[in-house]
Structure 1
Amino acid sequence: MKDVYGKEMPPNPYRKNETMRLLGHQYAVSIFWYNDEVRQEIKQISEARPYSFSLAAASDIFMLGYIHVKRAERARRKKTA
């Protein structure tokens, strides 16, 4: 795929493997990007690691954690039902 200037665009990271495909299907906007507390905490982490941390990686890590928590909650509810 090419951008508006005709240059090749980098590959979509959300097509790389199953975990990234799972993350690509999540609606993270309201959970991550509009949550000021989480955003500030991630910003503090990125400032502490200026050469080894990216906001995109942080959002993926956050969403993956969110998915695992939801799965654990569902499994726990299923056992008690």
Structure 2
Amino acid sequence: MTAKRQPPWPRGSAPAVSADPRGVTLERDGLISRTVLPASPPGVEYAPTPLGRSLQAPIETLTRWAARNHGTIRRARKDFDRASD
């Protein structure tokens, strides 16, 4: 038997927008474009805009930094948690 997941909003007050709020924000900020596909059921296609594509290099740089420093960050967290106990 699996437990029922409760929605993250109070009973009877479902959100007015069914789209992922992060997607709406990215679309609003001009980072992605959204196209509704005429299908049954309707589909949605997202694509990066030129502004969104301009984030690729900085995100790749941040990803490489995070990979290089992952061990150091984990050790810092362990040290912090030990000192906080």
Q: TM-score, normalised by structure 2?
A: 0.25
Higher helix fraction: Structure 1 or Structure 2? 1
In proportion to residue count, which structure has more strand? Answer: 2
Higher relative contact order (CA 8 A, sep 6+): 1
Structure number with greater Rg is: 2
TM-score calculated relative to the size of structure 1: 0.26
